[in-house]
Amino acid sequence: MSDLERWQALKDGEKSALEQIYRDHAAVLFKYGRKFIPDAQLVEDCIQDLFIELWEARQRVSATDSIRKYLFVSLRRKIVKTLDRQVKKIASEEPEERHFQADFGIDQLLIQGELDAERDAKLKVAMAALSERQREVLYLKYFADMDYTQIGEIMELNYQSARNLSHRALEALRQILLVLFIVWLCNFFRLL
């Protein structure tokens, strides 16, 4: 069943469509939500609320050709609202301050000995040097496998801005990694 058909089945009130959408997307939504909020329970609550609201508003939801994109956008908005409510309770912080943490599972990709461990550490340092929005765009592009149109809708950017942000993030990452490599080479030759 295509996304269009499943979405229409949801709009028509078929609970099985909602259940299937949840099974297909809950895990990836949870991983994405944890990049904003380290509190797993809060992310789960946001996802549950999202699906409850989706079911209650099923007749009014707009058509979509990508359920995943729709859910990412909706979850991001729900998390932002949740964070804004928490921030207003605690202190007055700029509404644009979001704490998007992107780890990308580098540990699992690069553990192959000591040399890989060094690369891992360098990549983490490089990722930490990127802005939060740059980390988010790289996560959505390369780990959530979204195109620039979808990324733009999720991050509230136009298509070209999403491409530019991704390009700048990759360029910054390359520059940082180059500097780290040069420092490593200097240290390596100093040991010889």
Q: Provide φ and ψ at 25, rounded to 5°.
A: -125, -10
Residue 42 exposed, middle or buried by CB count within 10 Å (0-12, 13-18, 19+): middle
What is the tens place of the pLDDT at every residue in 74-120? 998 888 888 777 766 655 544 555 566 655 554 444 444 555 566 66
Q: Please, what sign has the CA dihedral across residues 151, 84, 58, 22? A: positive
Which pLDDT score, from 0 to 100, does residue 118 have?
A: 66
Domains of the chain, CATH where assigned? 3-90 (1.10.1740), 106-191 (1.10.10.10)
pLDDT in tens, 7-42: 889 899 999 999 999 999 999 999 999 888 888 898
